[in-house]
Amino acid sequence: MLRLAFILLSVAILQSCSQKGQEKSLENPLEGEISIAADESFQPIVDAQIMAYNAHYPKAKLNIKYMPEQKAVRLMMQDSVDVCIVGRALDSTEIKYYKNKGISYLPARMALEGVALITSVDSPLSTISLDDLKAIFDSNSDKKLVFDNSNSSNLRYMIDKLGIKNLNQANIFAADGNKDVIEQVKTNPNAIGVIGASWISDGDDLKARAIKKSVKVLSVSQKEGGRGYLPIYSDLKARQYPLERKAYLHTKKHYGLPKGFIRFCCAQIGQLVVEKMGLLPYYVIPKEMVVEKTTITEMQKDKK
């Protein structure tokens, strides 16, 4: 009996130490280990933010998992992950849960992104209106819309944006992620793929450039015959692209590494990462420039 009691006491001590170690890792915004669940349509921008954070804080371990939006939110609400990154604010039921637990709801907005529409380079389409998109949802059409998965945040966004009441399932197809959407679109001129703009927005990234060469990015207009706009930095900045959305970071842990990572994404360095990716930073970071007036003669004197 004494031996059994000793073993149980040892196990309890080890569990206590493990829990304290986990709590300690969450207390420090510069090091430790946390888990992040993110909507797969945001993968390129999230990967870039994690890489930038690790470059500045190499002792921080950020474990990232990509999944459908609703699952990411659910895991965060269940404390199975520390942070979730999705394309929506929390709904009223989720906010009520925060309130009941005495947790402040402080959504962080990282970027203004676009839901991009892509099609085959052989497709005659170059521009599509919101009415045209709604017609594909509402009626039989020779066009089909391809989403990244059956629980796609892109599908949820389009339903909300276009006010779709009843889905015509014949025109909606689910792929196995954004990469599969791109592959399906390449070979089918009647398919319109719906992906996150960060997959094609970084002009310096070889993978993004290869994707843009292999497909056609459609411009989108508010109405038939109107001017079309693209999910690129200039059109997002002008707030002209009709399918814009925000990238949100949510957490229930407003301290330590979860808060440190969120603050990083929304502060100067993280916002510069967003801009470099070809997306619009949600928080405008002022850029100071010092201009000194001097003559060529004075410059030559300074060199001497």
CATH code, domain with 37:
3.40.190.10
Low-confidence winner among 50-54, 168-172, 204-208, 293-297 (lowest mean pLDDT): 293-297
Q: What is the pLDDT of residue 26?
A: 55
Same domain flag for 267 and 191: no
Q: What is the pLDDT of residue 30?
A: 87
Same domain flag for 171 and 134: yes
Say if residue 255's pLDDT is above 70: yes
Say if residue 5's pLDDT is above 80: no
Same domain flag for 89 and 145: no
Same domain flag for 119 and 101: no
What is the arithmetic mean of pLDDT over 186-211? 94
Same domain flag for 224 and 118: yes
Number of neighbours of residue 93 by Cβ within 10 angstroms: 8
Q: Are 98 and 252 in contact (CB under 8 A)?
A: yes
Same domain flag for 31 and 68: yes
Same domain flag for 158 and 255: no
Same domain flag for 223 and 164: yes
* 264 assigned to some structural domain: yes
Q: What percent of the chain has pLDDT over 70?
A: 84
Same domain flag for 174 and 208: yes
**DSSP readout, 235-284?**
HHHTT--TTEEEEEEEES--SHHHHHHHHHHHSHHHHHHHHHTTSEESSP
CA–CA separation, 207 and 226 (whole Å): 32
Tell me: the pLDDT tens digits for 274-304? 999 999 999 866 555 445 555 555 555 555 5
Confidence label for 165 from pLDDT (cuts 50, 70 and 90) = confident
**DSSP readout, 149-179?**
STT-HHHHHHHHHHT--S--GGGEEE-SSHH
Same domain flag for 42 and 104: yes
Confidence label for 17 from pLDDT (cuts 50, 70 and 90) = very low
Q: What is the pLDDT of residue 53?
A: 97
What is the arithmetic mean of pLDDT over 158-169? 86
CA–CA separation, 270 and 190 (whole Å): 38
The domain total for the chain is 2
* 1 assigned to some structural domain: no
Same domain flag for 225 and 119: yes
Say if residue 20's pLDDT is above 80: no
Using DSSP bridges, classify how beta strands 280-281 and 172-174 pair: parallel, antiparallel or unpaired.
unpaired
Q: What is the pTM of this model?
A: 0.83
Same domain flag for 210 and 258: no
* 233 assigned to some structural domain: yes
Q: What is the pLDDT of residue 46?
A: 98
Q: Which of 244, 273, 299 corresponds to the end of one domain?
A: 244
Tell me: the pLDDT tens digits for 22-66? 444 556 888 899 999 999 999 999 999 999 999 999 999 999 999
Say if residue 265's pLDDT is above 90: yes
Q: What is the pLDDT of residue 293?
A: 55
The better pLDDT of the pair 294, 144 is held by 144
Tell me: the pLDDT tens digits for 213-233? 999 999 999 998 899 999 999
- Collect all residues with Cβ–Cβ distance below 8 Å to 82 and sequence separation of at least 6: 26, 34, 35, 36, 76, 251, 253, 257, 258
Say if residue 234's pLDDT is above 70: yes
Per the structure, the complete domain to which residue 71 belongs is given by 26-111+246-281
